[in-house]
Chains A and B, each alone.
Chain A
Amino acid sequence: MRELTGGRLLRRSIGRHRRRMAAAVILLAGHQAAEALVPVMIGVIIDRAVGTGDTLALLLWVLVLAALFTALTLCWRHGARHGVIAMEREMHQLRMEVVTRVLDPRGHRTGLRTGEVLQVATSDAEKAAAVMHAVSMAAAATTGLAVSAVSLLTIDVPLGITVLVGVPVLVAGLHLLSPLLTRRAAAAQAAAGETTALATDLVRGVRALRGIGAQASAADAYRTSSRTALRASLRAATTTGVQQGLTAAVSGLFLAAVAGFAGWLALDGRITIGELITVVGLAQFIAEPVRVLGFAGPILARARASADRLVRVLTAPPVVAPGTRTALPDTGVTLHDVGYRTLADLNLDLAPGETVGVVGYDQRDCDALLELLAGTVPAGDYRGSVSVGGVPLAELDLAASRGMVLVEQHDVALFEGTLRSNLNAGTEHPAHTVEAALAAAAAEDIVAAHPDGLDHPVTDRGSTLSGGQRQRLGLARALATGPPVLVLHEPTTAVDAVTEERIARGIAQLRGSACTLLVTASPALLAVADRVLVLDGGRITAAGTHAELSEVDERYREAVLR
């Protein structure tokens, strides 16, 4: 397969909906042609019927007008539907391609931050699919122009040429103001956006403001920002006004010229009165397709830029290349002479069934260690070996390594659903497992607080829960999953001392003979660990029980006895 590029992506978009697109283009072109013929028909009816008093002609031409409107409306209805369906489906397909790619278990190396990836999956997918809209719009507008051109040239060649040249020149001329207009409108939007952002920011911090009695000064700050935004909108509004005024004046002047020219010809009998009306009508009509053609350009350009960004995500290589081994002899974890980021020659042994605490003096050491254990670091990016049950992590297949080691992050992410669905996290756990996990995480009260218990709904990111509740639910989720190796990163920072104590005992009891690594500075948790390792300057510098270390090591005491 040829390498995917932005241009190819757009062609592929049109290609995979080619039948609908063809139908849309043909029907919408038909619609534009019909629209162009409406003023022609008005002229014809005035000429042939109203001017002559011929009843039969009136009936005939009104019937033709009816047929024209029928064609116009049917063409638009079906053409536009085909176009929209094709575009919506393409957006959906692009969106899903991005999501599938980004959620690939092997990770993705796009170099984009989450927010940017999200932008690609939403806005860029939509803008790229808009290529279909641009194409059908442009095709239809071109047809409308062609029909108008033929009608005008049939009536009178010099007059036709005047209109056909004049209108695009006018539209282009009025476009000259557009950059200024865009700039001012963008400035106004930015200022309005800032004001709104300030408002939401102040409301988010309303409790902090109330705590220090600063509501009035915050309202003043907002008023200042609101006035700045108002001035920017007024500048934009003035430009818009000027542009609209110019458009009205210039198109009126052009109409005067066309009417004068056509009237002159009509006086001489070179064109009929109906033709005069047609010319005037068409002169007004063709501004529309010309404008549409003007719009299609920028839409295409935006689609192209978005397509490039989509390609960047869709073709990003995976981060890890998983192996194929599945079976493991035992469950110990060994890091041998590992160098990664701030870690230098780290040696760490976690025997099966052991609970080990790790206290890192530098947060970066902890983060690097957690990343390695989570299996999200490609084999080539670190030195030394990380193995589970004696098998290097890189040789394990994904299901095996993820099933083996679970890293629950400090910053717990909960998902929309129920308490139950969050605790289950994709696997049905028996009721007693969930209960035991909740008890160990001191989280029963969260379930007990609601009459619907475990079926209580959880909003996205657990936004209706407090920080402490989220943290305890995340812990319960990890404990319920019960992996052979469980890595917990600061699982109790948002709970109080009393609860922390309960949790420490709960973890020790529930994990029993399973391997647990606690990356934490909490004395309560460290106290239940079989061993505590001190991670300093990228390597292990001290080891012992929490009691031993607190007794002999001054620096350790400073770090953990908060």
Chain B
Amino acid sequence: MTRELLPIASPRRTWAALWTEVRALRWLGVATLVTAIGASAGGLVAPWVLGTMVDDIAGGAGINDTAGGAGRGPVVTAAVIIAVAALGTGVLTALSSALLSRLGETVLARLRERVLDRALHLPGATLDRVGTGDLLSRVGDDVSSVTTALVTTGPQLVSALLTIGLTAGGLFALDWRLGLAGLVAAPLYVLAVRWYLPRSGPFYARERVAVGERAQAMVSSLQAGQTVRAYRLEDEHTSAVERRSRAAMDLSVGVFRLFTRLVGRLNRAEFVGLAAILASGFLLVRADLVTVGATTAAALYFHRLFNPIGAVILQFDEIQSAGASLARLVGVASLDRPRPPAVVREPEGAGLELTGVGHRYEDGPRVLSGVSVRVAPGERLAVVGASGAGKSTLAGIVAGVLDPVAGEVRVGGVPVGELDRGRHLAMLSQEVHVFSGPLVADLRLACPDADLDDVRAALSLVGAMDWVRALPEGLDTVVGESAHRLTAAQAQQVALARLVLADPTVAILDEATAEAGSAGARDLERAAVAATKGRTTVIVAHRLTQAELADRVLVLDHGQVVETGTHADLVAAGGRYAELWRSWTGAG
């Protein structure tokens, strides 16, 4: 199954988006351009002056016998001009480099903030379709790739391009014929690039894939070492890594071979250009059209171009890949934020009502049909059923995360679509996540205005304050994957505390205590009851004790309601639920 991807902006759209951002920083943009041109132009002074000096000396050499102290004037002047130009170039280089970074970094920061905002606000259905994988690579890899390009490649590229442009201009300014001679090399450069790029792009892409596969094979073998040993898969995994490492190595060597052939072509272009300038200089000097000094300056100019031209060509690949990442970022940034409902209505009361709710995913089979149930304000309803019975789908629909194909959900008489959902509905999903950072920041995500007392109260309510106090830095302890790792039970308590802080009218718990695994499950159940006390609650029950604690139980089978009633009634009725309960308690 190939997943759908988030949009990728067209090149035109990408440029337009960038241009809009740069225009917003107009003066910064102008200042950057002016200083960058100045800095590159400053680099042209020295070869020019050297050329003049060569002519002066050559001229002086003709009247060598009369040379005295006065003859040294031009040399001193030349040295002074070069020195002054150097100081000016230094200042302009510093300014342009800093300004260019400021411009690029600011634009990037704005872009990444927009991308994340859109990513977090993706509609539930879209998120389920694209999965988090694509989204993660946009906010992670793509942002990193553009950042790297911006910090390292970008400034080099801009200064290289300006240097090339200005130096070419300088060549023509020396003498148009010398300039033309230099241009002889241009087609060779173009050919080299046109030979290289179509070959290198796919090659690099394959190399990146191979390197990724190699890393993955290593990660998976090493992380699952225990399982590898238990099933005696050592040889199999070693040879899998060996195969991939070898494949990646062969591709890296292949890519480099291709690259050396490009460099060969660049060297050829360098030689042709340099020889052309020297040869035409020779002819022009003989015809008395230019001076030896001008030829010298032209040769030095051209020699100066070797590095920047190489730099531009060698960075083409990186620019292409950064460009691709940028298009992926702009694609997400250009998404519309979901609009809030046109009319927001306040619910009257906290009752929950489902009428004829049915659902199917895309063109798949019906996973829910004809579910109708009323949950009184403050009542706890447990939903019980086998995997695939439709429990989580029902929870998603009640929470307004999924739009049902049929039927309607109302809270206090108001359809879910017309509610301020964030205020009235909250759901704890199966995927418990602890946000990296100080624990208090994690909790405040649910309610940014909460003060420390509120946070502590929420934690106490779910019975988490004891272990929180025992953390090395209490509420300020940095938690998450790479810092202090919370146990599964603690993570669920944090999620419950977030729910308390979010303070919804209707709470939906989807298997929120499933992963606790051991005896701690009981404490979590108590915590869940405390967190949802007084709220209308729908709880997807994993453990039957969760159902036992609820006011009413709804049994789902293949998307349909087969039983509803209190725990005691259902046990007494001797139906599906009673059967489950018997085997669960070991009484059967």
Most chain B beta-carbon neighbours within 10 Å: one of A53, A197, A233: A233
**Given contacts A201-B435, A203-B120, A217-B444, is CB(A103)–CB(B238) below 8 Å?**
yes
- Taking CB atoms and an 8 Å cut-off, the chain B residues in 459-511 that contact chain A are 480-482, 495, 498-499, 502, 504, 508, 511
Q: Is the CB of A218 within 8 A of B216?
A: no
Contact indicator B436/A198 (Cβ below 8 Å): yes
A-B contact pairs, 14 of them (CB 8 A): A46-B292, A200-B140, A206-B120, A206-B122, A211-B429, A212-B427, A241-B97, A249-B90, A259-B53, A273-B57, A402-B229, A406-B230, A415-B233, A561-B585
Report whether A202 and B292 are in contact in the complex, using a CB–CB cutoff of 8 Å: no
Whether B295 contacts A46 by the Cβ 8 Å rule is yes
Within 65-103 of B, Cβ neighbours of A (below 8 Å) are at 67, 71-72, 74-76, 78-80, 82-83, 85-87, 89-99, 101-102
Q: Are A248 and B580 in contact (CB under 8 A)?
A: no
* A241 and B113 contact, CB distance less than 8 A: no
Question: Number of residues in A with C-beta < 8 Å to the partner?
Answer: 154
A260 contacts B428, C-beta separation under 8 Å: no
Q: How far is the CA of A200 from the CA of B124 in the complex (A)?
A: 18
Min C-beta distance of B186 to chain A, whole Å: 18
The CA-CA distance from A231 to B232 in the complex, in Å, is 52
Query: Chain B contacts of A247 at CB under 8 A?
Result: 90, 93
Q: Is the CB of A202 within 8 A of B435?
A: yes
- In angstroms, Cα B270 to Cα A217, docked, is 56
Once the chains bind, are A497 and B236 in contact (CB under 8 Å)? no
Q: Does B242 contact A (CB under 8 A)?
A: yes
Could you say which of A66-74, A137-145, A325-333, A342-350 contacts chain B? A66-74
CA–CA, A481 and B89, complex, Å: 73
Among residues of A, the one whose C-beta sits closest to the C-beta of B99 is A241
Q: Does A537 contact B (CB under 8 A)?
A: no
Residue B405 CB within 8 A of the other chain: no
Q: Is B544 an interface residue (CB 8 A)?
A: yes
Q: Which of A50, A238, A526, A550 contacts B281 (CB 8 A)?
A: A50
Say yes or no: is B260 at the interface (Cβ < 8 Å to chain A): yes
How would you classify the secondary structure of chain B's contact residues: helix, strand, loop or mixed? helix
Quote the shortest CB–CB distance from A474 to chain B (angstroms).
Answer: 8
Q: A77-B263, A547-B586 are in contact. Are A50 and B90 (CB under 8 A)?
A: no
Q: Once bound together, how far apart are the Cα atoms of A227 and B330, in whole Å? A: 19
Q: Which residues of B sit under 8 angstroms from A89, Cβ to Cβ?
A: 249
Residues on the A chain within 8 Å of B229, using CB = 103, 105, 107, 374, 376, 402
Task: List which A58-111 residues lie within 8 A (CB) of chain B.
Answer: 58, 62, 65-66, 69, 72-73, 76-77, 80-81, 84-85, 88-89, 91-92, 95-96, 99-100, 102-105, 107
A432: CB under 8 A from chain B? no
- Which A residue sits closest to B261, measured CB to CB? A77
**Nearest CB in chain B to that of A213: its residue:** B422
Q: How far is the CB of B64 from chain A (nearest CB, A)?
A: 7
Residues of B within 8 A of A50 (CB): 278, 281-282, 285, 292, 295-296
A523 engages B586 (CB within 8 Å): yes
Residue A234 at the B interface, CB < 8 A?
Answer: yes
Total A-B contacts with CB atoms under 8 angstroms apart: 477
Q: Mark B409-422, 1 if CB is under 8 A from A, else 0.
A: 00000000000011
Q: Does A147 contact B (CB under 8 A)?
A: no
Residues of the B chain whose Cβ atoms lie less than 8 Å from the Cβ of A192: 144, 147
- Tell me whether chain A's interface is mostly helix, strand or loop, or mixed: helix
Selecting from A263-271, A289-297, A304-312, A385-393, the interface stretch reads: A263-271
Tell me the chain A residues, 352-381 only, with Cβ under 8 Å from chain B.
361, 363, 374, 376
Taking A118-B219, A263-B53 as contacts, is the C-beta distance between A246 and B90 under 8 angstroms? yes
Chain B, Cβ-Cβ closest to A212: B502
| Binary interface encoding of chain A residues 313-333 relative to chain B, with 1 for a CB under 8 A from any of its CBs, else 0 | 000000000000000000000
Tell me which residues across on chain B come within 8 A of A88, comparing CB atoms.
249, 252-253
Determine if A413 and B224 form an interchain contact, defined as CB atoms under 8 angstroms apart: yes
Do A252 and B82 have beta carbons less than 8 Å apart? yes
Verify A249–B224 contact, CB threshold 8 A. Answer: no
Q: What is the 8 Å Cβ interface bit string for chain B, positions 136-180, against chain A (1 contact, 0 not)?
A: 100110011001000100000000000000000000000000000
Instruction: Give the residues in chain B near A107, CB-CB below 8 Å.
Output: 229
- Contact assessment for B249 and A92 in the assembled complex, using a CB-CB cutoff below 8 Å: yes
B588 CB, min distance to chain A CBs, angstroms? 9
Does B222 lie within 8 Å of A253, measured CB to CB? no
> How many angstroms from the CA of A73 to the CA of B545 in the assembled complex?
78
A20-42: which residues lie under 8 A (CB-CB) from chain B?
38-39, 42
Is there an interface contact between A99 and B263, defined as CB atoms closer than 8 Å? Answer: no
Q: Mark B30-70, 1 if CB is under 8 A from A, else 0.
A: 00000000010011001001100110011011001001000
The smallest beta-carbon distance between B154 and chain A, in angstroms, is: 11
B132 within 8 Å of A by Cβ? yes
Minimum Cβ distance to chain B for residue A272 (Å)? 9
Please, which residues of chain B bring their CB within 8 A of the CB of A264?
72, 75
| A460: B residues at CB distance < 8 A | 216, 219-220
Q: Tell me if A6 is interfacial: C-beta within 8 Å of chain B.
A: no
Contacting pair A246 B94 (CB below 8 A): yes
Whether A499 touches B139, Cβ cut-off 8 Å, given contacts A211-B426, A264-B75, is no
Q: Report whether A425 and B233 are in contact in the complex, using a CB–CB cutoff of 8 Å.
A: yes
Contact residue range for chain B? 35 or more
Q: Does A554 contact B (CB under 8 A)?
A: no
Q: Which residues of A contact B50 (CB under 8 A)?
A: 259, 277, 280
Q: Is the pair B401, A210 in contact by a Cβ cutoff of 8 Å?
A: yes
- The verdict on B554 contacting chain A, using a C-beta distance below 8 Å, is no
Within 8 A of B (CB), among A438-466: 445, 460-461
Question: Are A218 and B445 in contact, CB atoms less than 8 angstroms apart?
Answer: yes
Cβ A267 vs Cβ B67 within 8 A: yes
Interface residue ranges of B244-272 to A (CB < 8 Å): 245-246, 249, 252-253, 256-257, 260-261, 263-264, 267-268, 270-271
Chain B, residue nearest A412 (CB):
B227
- Contact of A233 (CB < 8 Å), options: B151, B426, B427: B151
CB–CB A408/B82 < 8 A: no
**Contact between chains at B256 and A80 (CB < 8 Å):** yes
CB 8 Å contact bits of B343-355 with A (1 = contact, 0 = none): 0000000000000
Report Cα–Cα, A91/B214, bound state, in Å. 13
Which B residues lie within 8 Å of A219 (CB)? 113, 116-117, 120-121
Interface check B286, CB cutoff 8 A: yes
Q: Is there a chain A Cβ closer than 8 Å to B241's Cβ?
A: yes
Interface string of B106-148 (1 = CB under 8 A from A): 1001001100110111101001000010011001100110010
Contact indicator B275/A213 (Cβ below 8 Å): no
List chain B residues, Cβ under 8 A from A490.
517-518
Q: A208-B495, A249-B87 are contacts. A213–B426 as well, Cβ < 8 Å?
A: yes
Q: Which residues 567-585 in B have Cβ within 8 Å of A in the complex?
A: 580, 583-585
Residues on B with beta carbons closer than 8 Å to the beta carbon of A407: 230
Cβ contacts under 8 Å, A65 to chain B: 271, 274-275, 278
Within 8 A of B (CB), among A191-229: 192, 195-215, 217-223, 226-227, 229
Please state if B54 and A212 are interface contacts (CB–CB under 8 Å): no
CA distance A208 to B229 in the complex (A): 36
Tell me if B522 counts as interface (CB < 8 A to partner A): yes
Question: Is A496 within 8 A of B542, CB to CB?
Answer: yes
Q: Is A542 an interface residue (CB 8 A)?
A: no
Please give, as numbers and ranges, the residues of chain A lying within 8 Å of B7 by CB-CB distance.
Answer: none
Residues of A within 8 A of B46 (CB): 252, 255-256, 259
Are B518 and A521 touching (Cβ within 8 A)? yes
Interface membership of B441, Cβ < 8 A: yes
Could you tell me the distance between the alpha carbons of A99 and B94 in the complex, rounded to whole angstroms? 47
